[in-house]
Amino acid sequence: MVSDILVASNRGPVSYALREEDGTLQARRGGGGLVSGLSAIGPDAGAVWVCAALGAGDREAVRRGVSEPGVRMLDIPAEVHEAAYNGIANSVLWFVHHLLYQTPLEPVFDAGFRRRWEAYRAYNRAFAEALAAEAAPGAAVLIQDYHLALAPGMLRELRPDVRIGHFSHTPWAPPDYFGMLPDDVARELLEGMLGADRLGFLTHRWADAFTACCERVLGGTGGTEIGVHGLGADGEFLRARSQEPDVADRMSTLRAQIGDGSRKTVIRVDRTELSKNIVRGLLAFRTLLEEHPEWRERVVHIAFAYPSRQDLEVYRRYTAEVSRLADEINAAFGTPDWTPVILHVKDDFARSLAAYRLADVALVNPIRDGMNLVAKEVPVVSDAGCALVLSREAGAYEELSEDAITVNPYDVTGTATALHEALTMPEAERAERTKRLAAAATALPPERWFLEQLEALRAVG
C-alpha cells in the first residue's frame, strides 16, 4: 500500500503491552499534538505513520504481524535503537538543544560516540527506506524531531520526487553551543535536515537559531524553506475531557490531600525531565516559605513528576533528587496537619486535569523547552483562573509572556518572588489574565497546526 501522506516519528501513535499471563497483546493509543493533528485529515485519507517498535510488546506485535490501520512499526534491531535513541538522540542531541551540558566531564566525543553515531545513521536509514517504500509518487512526508535529523537527506536521495517536511518539537541550540558537536557531525546533521523541502519550528527563536547554525557551519540554508508553527492546546478536547466524572473524583482526592479549603495551591505537571527544572522549582518553593513565612500552612505545592527516560542514569539520579528534596522540604516545614509538597510520580492524565482545574498558580519553569503545552493547557481548563509563572526560556513564552509572570529559570530567588506575586494576584485580575492566556494558547489547535504544515509543504515551489 502506498500513501500520499506519511508521518514519521520515533514514538508512534500506538504501543503494545504484552500480557505475561496469557501472552496477548494490548494496544494503547497515545495522545499528543501529532495524534490529534493527524485526525484533521480524516480516516479515509489513507495516511501512514511510520514509527519505531519501542518495547518487547511492540516487537512482538511486529513479529506476529499485528498492526493498527495506518501505522507501520519498524523493528529496528534493539541495540541499534538503543544506541540511536538513548545514546545519541536523548543523550547528545537533546542535551545540546536544551543546553544541558553543565559539567567539565561531559560531553566526550570518543570512539564510543562514533559507534553510537553509526547506529543513529542506521536508524535514520531504516526510516528513510521504509518511507521511500510507502510513499506514492509526489507524496508529502512529514518527518518529526531530533531523532530523525538525517532521514530527510537520506529520503531525498532515494526518492527525489516526494515532498519532505521536517518538524522540530524541541528548541534549537545557538551556534556557539551547537559548535560543541564534532565538525563533521554538525555538518551531517544540518545537511540531513536541509534535505527537506521545508523545515518547521515551534517558535521564531528556534528557527532563527537553526538558521544561524547553518550560516556558521555551512554558509547558509541552501534555499530550504523554514516556517514557524506554534502548536496550541486542543481547547475543545480539553474542556470536554476535564468535565468527565473521573476528573471530579481526582479533584476530591486532591482537595482532601490539600486539607484546609482556604489554602492556596501551586501546581506543576511535567515528565521528570532534566530540562523541566523541577529541582530549582522546589528550591524556589522552599525559598518562598523561608522569605514569606506568612505562607506557611497556607499554601501547598502539588508537583506531578512523571518518570521519563529511566534507562539513562542521569534521569534516574534526577528523579531521586526530586523525591529527596520534596521529602526534605516536608520534613523541615511540615506540620501534623500540613504537607507543604505533595509529590505524585504515577502518570494520571485525569489527575493532571484535576490539578489544572483547581490550581491558584501554575509553575512552568523549564531551563529550556520547545513549547511546553502545560503552560497552554492550564488556562484553558482552569475553573476560577490560575496565575501562570512562566520561564522566559519556554517556547510558550513567545505567545504567553504578556499575561504570565515571567522568570529566569536559573534564578531561584526571582522564581520565589514570582510565586509570591502570583499567589497575591487579585482574583479579578487573575481571571482576566487566564481568559487572555486561554485565547492565546488555543490560537493554533493541533488540527490546524498540522493542516497548515501540510498545505505549506505542498505549496513549496
Nearer to ligand G6P, 145 or 399 (CB): 145
> Does 15 participate in binding ligand G6P (rule CB under 6 A)?
no
Task: Report in angstroms how near the CB of residue 98 gets to ligand G6P at its nearest.
Answer: 10
CA distances from 417 to 134, 341, 412 (A): 54, 18, 9
> Does 169 participate in binding ligand G6P (rule CB under 6 A)?
yes
Query: What is the tally of helices (H) and strands (E) in the chain?
Result: 19, 15
Name, in order, each residue with C-beta under 8 angstroms of 424's C-beta and a sequence gap of 6 or more: none
Task: Report in angstroms how near the CB of residue 277 gets to ligand G6P at its nearest.
Answer: 15
In three-state form (DSSP H/G/I as H, E/B as E, the rest C), the secondary structure along 65-104 is: CCCCCCEEEECCCHHHHHHHHHHHHHHHHHHHHCCCCCCC
Nearer to ligand G6P, 70 or 395 (CB): 395
x/- map, 99-138, ligand G6P, by CB under 6 A: ----------------------------------------
In our burial notation (b when 16+ CB lie closer than 10 A, e otherwise), range 377-400 reads: bbbbbbeebbbbbbbebbbbbbbb
> Which residues, 51 to 90, sit near ligand G6P by CB under 6 A?
90
* DSSP H or E segment with residue 198: strand 198-201
Task: Report in angstroms how near the CB of residue 271 gets to ligand G6P at its nearest.
Answer: 7
Nearer to ligand G6P, 11 or 121 (CB): 11
**Around Cβ 31, how many Cβ atoms within 10 Å?**
12
**Around Cβ 108, how many Cβ atoms within 10 Å?**
7
Of 11, 216, 292, 448, the one binding ligand G6P by CB under 6 A: 11
> Does 145 participate in binding ligand G6P (rule CB under 6 A)?
yes
Task: Report in angstroms how near the CB of residue 104 gets to ligand G6P at its nearest.
Answer: 27
> Does 308 participate in binding ligand G6P (rule CB under 6 A)?
yes
Instruction: Check: CB of residue 48 under 8 Å from CB of residue 458.
Output: no
Task: Report in angstroms how near the CB of residue 94 gets to ligand G6P at its nearest.
Answer: 8
> Which residues, 170 to 189, sit near ligand G6P by CB under 6 A?
170
Task: Report in angstroms how near the CB of residue 119 gets to ligand G6P at its nearest.
Answer: 16
Nearer to ligand G6P, 35 or 251 (CB): 35
> Does 309 participate in binding ligand G6P (rule CB under 6 A)?
yes
Which residue reads 526530586 in cell numbers? 322
> Does 448 participate in binding ligand G6P (rule CB under 6 A)?
no
Burial tier of 69 (Cβ tally within 10 Å: 0-12, 13-18, 19+): exposed
Task: Report in angstroms how near the CB of residue 145 gets to ligand G6P at its nearest.
Answer: 4
Nearer to ligand G6P, 11 or 298 (CB): 11
> Does 242 participate in binding ligand G6P (rule CB under 6 A)?
no
Q: Which residues contact ligand G6P (rule: CB under 6 A)?
A: 11, 90, 145, 169-170, 308-309
